[in-house]
Chain A
Amino acid sequence: MSESTNVATTGSRTTQILGFVVLLGLSVVFVLAFVVTEPDAVQQDAVRMFYIHVPAAIVALYLTVPALAVASAMALYKKTRWWDITAAAAAELGVVFCGLTLVTGVIWGRPIWNTWWEWGDVRLLTTLVLFLMLLGYLAYRRSVVDPGTRARRSAVIALVASTNVLLVNRSVIWWQNRTLHQKSSLIEGRLEDMKLFTFALSTLVFAVMFFWMMIHRFRIGWLEHKIETVGVDAAIAERRASAHAGLDEAISHPALEKEGST
């Protein structure tokens, strides 16, 4: 196929619609969070961090990591590049959203807990460990050249890392005396009316954003796979061509021709 027929984008109709929904949704969430909702009686305006911190955490823990775990398990079972590329895409998004969860948590914690970070807090520590595990997963992928080995070993690493989500989730219950972090406001029913609606909408928008990013990141992985495959195919073709050329040269060698004639 000619170069001119190439479509220089990973976008499609679906991603355009999702992208528009995300931009519109974020604008609405911003207005709701800063104009419509009231400050909290205890936290005052610092409570507005809730509308980005918790949705980022929900996406990180309950969308990116489960996607990574399922894709890694399927990569081991099916042994296809499709699942391996999906796992890599989910891990990269996991780093982004887990990183945002940590940063917004640190910023929110300073005015509320009077500290940026508490090393003894199990919720904070397990989230940091998850973030570092996802970074390690991506670093490992970059260090292995063979696609089959990379897919197999990184899938095992991902499955081990994914179990950390259980610890993050249960940390405020199992170690409730060793955490500054509050339990789920949603489960305890402390959110009402506009605060609940703003939080729910923000979570939905973050989830749609996750799918938009996931589609684009998967397609990037797929393109890299295709380029890698084309590179290998070209190298094989070149090797075959040079081998044929060498064979032709050997056959047409005067000594062989003479030997052949006798």
Chain B
Amino acid sequence: MTTIAMTHVGYLIAGWGITFTVLGLYSISLVRRGRALSTQVPAGQQRWIDTDE
């Protein structure tokens, strides 16, 4: 079995891991906040569905 020798693995996992986790969680929170709020506003007032404001 071949192993890939890589330096600074801990730093790379931390840096890339934190970045992907933060961006992923923030994206999920945006979608969930949007879904929760969308149910409280009529579709006619959601400009991305109906632009007649």
Where the two chains meet, the residues of A that have a C-beta atom closer than 8 Å to any C-beta of B are 1, 3, 5-12, 26, 30, 39, 44-46, 48-49, 52-53, 56, 96, 99-100, 103-104, 107-108, 110-111, 209, 212-213, 216-217, 219-220, 222-224, 226-227, 230
Contacts and interface: CB of A to CB of B under 8 A. Distances in A.
Nearest to A110: B11
Contacts of A230: 41
B35 to A, nearest CB: 5
Interface of B: 6-9, 11-12, 14-16, 18-20, 22-23, 26-27, 30-31, 33-35, 37-49
18 contacts: A5-B42, A6-B39, A7-B49, A9-B38, A10-B37, A10-B48, A46-B11, A46-B12, A48-B12, A49-B12, A49-B15, A52-B15, A52-B16, A103-B19, A110-B11, A220-B30, A220-B33, A227-B37
Nearest to B5: A45
A30 B13 CA distance: 12
A10 B18 CA distance: 26
Chain A at the B interface: mostly helix, strand, loop or mixed?
Answer: helix
A236 B31 CA distance: 32
B44 A1 contact: yes
Chain B at the A interface: mostly helix, strand, loop or mixed?
Answer: helix
Contacts of B38: 6-10, 223
A209 B22 CA distance: 13
Nearest to A216: B30
Contacts of A8: 35, 38-39
B7 A7 contact: no
Contacts of B9: 45
Nearest to B45: A226
B31 A10 contact: yes
